[in-house]
Amino acid sequence: MKLSTKFIHGNYDLESTGATNVPIYMSNAYAHKSPEELENIFKGKLPGYVYSRLSNPTVLAFERRMASVEEGLATTSASSGMAAIYMAIKNVVNSGDEIIASTGLYGGTYNLISNLKDIGVKTIFLDEINKETLEQNITDKTKLVYGETIGNPKLDILDIETIGGVCKEKGVVFMVDSTISTPYLINPIKYGADIIIHSTSKYINGTSSAIGGIIVDCGSEKYKNDRYKIFHQYVRKYGRIAFTAKLRSTEARDIGAAMSPFTAFLSLTGIETLSLRMEKHCENAMKVAEYLEKNNKITGVNYPNLKSSKYYDLATKYYQNGASGILTFRLGSKEIAYKFLRKLKLILYLTNMGDCKTSIIHPSSTICVRNTEEEKKKMSVYDDLVRLSVGIEDVDDILEDIDRALKAI
């Protein structure tokens, strides 16, 4: 199947009823015929459901769909993107270990990774992750290289092929958050990513109707290395999906941040239209970016597919058809930015992105409010910067709204 078909049919067998949508199994528990049967399921000797914190048919259908579209071997869902990120990272790092991460991370993830110092995990944040900086910073203690395919809100494009190559050579796990790029725009497994994470709350759901997260395990031989001794018992039993085997028997089980069956249903419905939506998001974002670039009240319009972008070359390499629907720009001061924001009528002021509805936010006073001034600078978050998540409305209406607000400042 081609990708657009997989979004709709990937890994799904019709139920015996013929229902074309996966039924929502709102059931916590599953009755079994005998104590022996339940014992064997608990021991992993028989397939089956026991309790929906651990697995559920609707959630499994969504996990299988995500494995199909990302070409992964196994997937684990979570109650939010943050829960997915936390348990995926914690599955590989422990006290005394090191992480290399890009500075262009979502604020929540930047904080999560920084907070791991409390359990003795050291993180080296790099402004640019490239061959040189990676090779200089990978040590025997490095367990993880972490980045976002397109950083939020820095919009830096990760040179995923180069990083994947160095991580392969050094035998270090490479984890990417592909929330902004979505499986439609890039397939990180092809470039050497070992683990792909999505906040499904954004483009995958598409209509902002449910919070969720997913961890895609691409399968890897790296867990055999001495660097990953804690995985060896799982490698012996589960081979290339040692990551998921450990995750499901430790972090995911311990934290219990399971995806709701209802969320899985909404996410399955959402992903069916991902191709169409992403095409429109990209097309509208490019038009808005070009429009903004021409206005003299605005500076620093940042959209990776603009020729003026620092990441234009990388965008051309990885995202010829558009680098998603997010862009940022600067208005001169926080006061002017606020004035502009107050004048918008169609564009919603809120903290979210990847919705069909266009929305905007002032990151410095909201999603990055807990970051220090120095961190904000590294994340390219300035006091006069706003982040626009361009929706799929008629672009003329989006431009009209922006134009009116610009005229008022």
Ligand X SMILES: *Cc1c(COP(=O)(O)O)cnc(C)c1O
Chain residues binding ligand X by CB under 6 A are 80-82, 106, 108-109, 148, 152, 177, 179-180, 199, 201-202, 211, 213
The nearer residue to ligand X, 238 or 371, going by C-beta atoms, is: 371
For residue 165, count other CB atoms closer than 10 A to its CB: 16
Minimum gap (Å) between residue 102 Cβ and ligand X: 12
User: Which residue is it, tokens 């592909």?
Assistant: 178
The nearer residue to ligand X, 83 or 245, going by C-beta atoms, is: 83
H or E element, residue 44: none
How far apart, in whole angstroms, are the C-alpha atoms of residue 53 and residue 94?
Answer: 25
Minimum gap (Å) between residue 201 Cβ and ligand X: 4
Which of 140, 104, 98 shows the shortest CA–CA distance to 116?
98
CB contact at 8 A, 83 and 107: no
The nearer residue to ligand X, 200 or 244, going by C-beta atoms, is: 200
The nearer residue to ligand X, 139 or 351, going by C-beta atoms, is: 351
For residue 101, count other CB atoms closer than 10 A to its CB: 22
Cβ-defined contacts of 366-369 (< 8 Å, 24+): 367/106, 367/107, 367/108, 367/153, 368/107
CB contact at 8 A, 222 and 194: yes
Minimum gap (Å) between residue 387 Cβ and ligand X: 10
The nearer residue to ligand X, 8 or 348, going by C-beta atoms, is: 348
Which residue has the closest beta carbon to ligand X? 81
Minimum gap (Å) between residue 217 Cβ and ligand X: 18
CB contact at 8 A, 348 and 358: yes
The nearer residue to ligand X, 215 or 242, going by C-beta atoms, is: 215
The nearer residue to ligand X, 147 or 219, going by C-beta atoms, is: 147
Minimum gap (Å) between residue 140 Cβ and ligand X: 29
The nearer residue to ligand X, 71 or 177, going by C-beta atoms, is: 177
The nearer residue to ligand X, 81 or 219, going by C-beta atoms, is: 81
Which of 389, 318, 349, 351 shows the shortest CA–CA distance to 160?
318
The nearer residue to ligand X, 87 or 241, going by C-beta atoms, is: 87
CB contact at 8 A, 90 and 228: no
Q: How many residues does the chain have?
A: 409
Minimum gap (Å) between residue 394 Cβ and ligand X: 25
Among the residues of 22-147, which ranges form H helices?
Answer: 35-42, 57-70, 81-92, 107-115, 131-137
Q: What is the DSSP string of 266-290?
A: HHHHHHTTHHHHHHHHHHHHHHHHH
Minimum gap (Å) between residue 148 Cβ and ligand X: 5
Minimum gap (Å) between residue 151 Cβ and ligand X: 8
Minimum gap (Å) between residue 109 Cβ and ligand X: 6
Q: What are phi and psi of 302, to 5 degrees?
A: -120, 105
H or E element, residue 77: strand 74-78
User: Which residue is it, tokens 């005998």?
Assistant: 34
Minimum gap (Å) between residue 179 Cβ and ligand X: 4
How far apart, in whole angstroms, are the C-alpha atoms of residue 320 and residue 34?
Answer: 56
> Which residues share a beta bridge with 388?
327, 360
Q: What are phi and psi of 17, to 5 degrees?
A: -75, -15
